[in-house]
Amino acid sequence: MNGNVVRFSDFSFTQCLLMLFLNSIQFFLALSVVLLFVYPWERGWIRCVSGIGCIYLFPPIAARLIKMILPIKKKRIVVGSREYFTWWAMTNLQIIFCRFPALEELLRLIPGLYSHWLRLWGAEIGRLTYWSPGTKILDRHCLKIGNNVIFGAGVRLNGHVLVKSDDGNLELLLSPIIIGDNVIVGGYSLLTAGTEIADGECTRAMMSFPPFTRWENGRRVDNKSAKE
């Protein structure tokens, strides 16, 4: 490392290999699904069920196991640390759904199914949550959502943010997005790490919530307690 400043270019050879391996997860997952469907190892319906199970069940279950074995306890994570690579492994298990959003839109066709699937990742989702078309989630394990919540079209839920700390180091802010009961999130809004929306609120469309902010009484305030 150069002094006290952590940069991606300062990763050791071992760390670079680990990053390369983790970045390959999405490719091998996609390849495995294709082979399960195409290679004639069993009857067609069995191949179909196996492929669907692999794409929808393996990533969330693997992510839950990783988080259980290597828990992430900090909200501010130094880039290159053990907790950083734990998060990066879970992220790469999710990337395939970001690259092919139709996979999630199919689940949203069946009421309640998408919320149940998010719970497999470790998310806390209340009853009667409505996911409008185009809703994007990058950290599915970083969600705490109450009952009767409506997400407008194109809402983005991003439980992590990469920032530069006061000492010049890169650090990852990772914290659950918390949404209370009976909330409407305006379309095309961006909710980042540690965002909280109080019960009964309705946010405006196209709003951007910086890390650790809270929406309450119709306005956005800095949520200092969430940063600790």
Give me the CATH number covering residue 179: 2.160.10
pLDDT score of 3: 43
- By percentage, how much of the chain surpasses pLDDT 70? 93
Q: Which domain holds residue 194?
A: 10-227
Asked whether residue 4 is domain-assigned, the answer is: no
Q: What is the pLDDT of residues 166-195, one digit of tens each?
A: 777 889 999 999 999 999 999 999 999 999
- Domain assignment present for residue 128? The answer is yes
Torsion, Cα 189 195 199 201, to 10 degrees, reads -30
DSSP letter at 221?
Answer: E
Structure-token pair, residue 23? 């970045």
Residue type, 8: F
Which has the minimum average pLDDT: 6-10, 35-39, 114-118? 6-10
Closest of 190, 186, 223, 184 to residue 209, by C-alpha:
190
Q: Is the pLDDT of residue 2 over 50?
A: no
Domain count, the chain: 1
In a domain, 70, yes or no: yes
121 occurs within a structural domain? yes
Cα 82 → chain centroid: 18
d(CA 115, CA 104): 11
The 10s digit of each residue's pLDDT in 13-50 is 999 999 999 999 999 999 999 999 999 999 999 999 99
Asked if residue 5 belongs to a domain, the reply is no
* Domain contains 1: no
